[in-house]
Chains A and B, each alone.
Chain A
Amino acid sequence: KAGVTQTPRYLIKTRGQQVTLSCSPISGHRSVSWYQQTPGQGLQFLFEYFSETQRNKGNFPGRFSGRQFSNSRSEMNVSTLELGDSALYLCASSLDSGSALETQYFGPGTRLTVL
């Protein structure tokens, strides 16, 4: 079974631009979560999508948005990029069987650099 895939793997943008990142979950997985990872900060939760609906949201500004399609693929968008948005953006999928202890499977991430 193929793992979680994210595209692109690397991206360089300038301040003020916008960016769209894509995530394809493991086949059969219905939940997709997005995280921002910066050195020394761990993983910061952005949002989670299930059945094309945003189910949970972290404490990020409205410049960060996302969506999920009927095939569970998800995209996240960051508008008006700032230097501080430079980070590794990770996508994780899970089966969402209703268990609190469900494992999240992570993709390799998209490394975004904002100049």
Chain B
Amino acid sequence: GQSLEQPSEVTAVEGAIVQINCTYQTSGFYGLSWYQQHDGGAPTFLSYNALDGLEETGRFSSFLSRSDSYGYLLLQELQMKDSASYFCAAILDSNYQLIWGAGTKLIIKP
């Protein structure tokens, strides 16, 4: 089967750095996307990686290692508004369909 594993919950302090990991097991992997969803809101796109390495977008960075079937989302200078659920989603190369992880709830403490 195809699956993605990510921690169900992560807690961090405002101003700190947090890393949310995602391991995947899929056939025909093309790339990894990350989405943010606030409570009661719709998921919004954050970043994607098609190649190994780090992609940086402001305070958010995403990393991919194809050989390890692993990626992570790095959030720096955490703000209270970053409290949300974060989803990794694998893009399949056969039909570009997204396979989603169950999400990581990020709790930020002042």
Listed in ascending order, the chain A residues whose CB lies under 8 Å from chain B are: 4, 33, 35, 40-45, 48, 55-56, 90, 92, 100-109
Contacts and interface: CB of A to CB of B under 8 A. Distances in A.
A41 to B, nearest CB: 6
Interface in B33-72: 33, 41-45, 48, 50
Contacts of B44: 106
A43 B6 CA distance: 13
Interface residues of B, number: 24
Given A100-B31, A100-B93, A101-B48, A90 B42 contact: yes
Interface of B: 8, 30-31, 33, 41-45, 48, 50, 87, 89, 91, 93, 95-103
A45 B93 contact: no
B98 A45 contact: yes
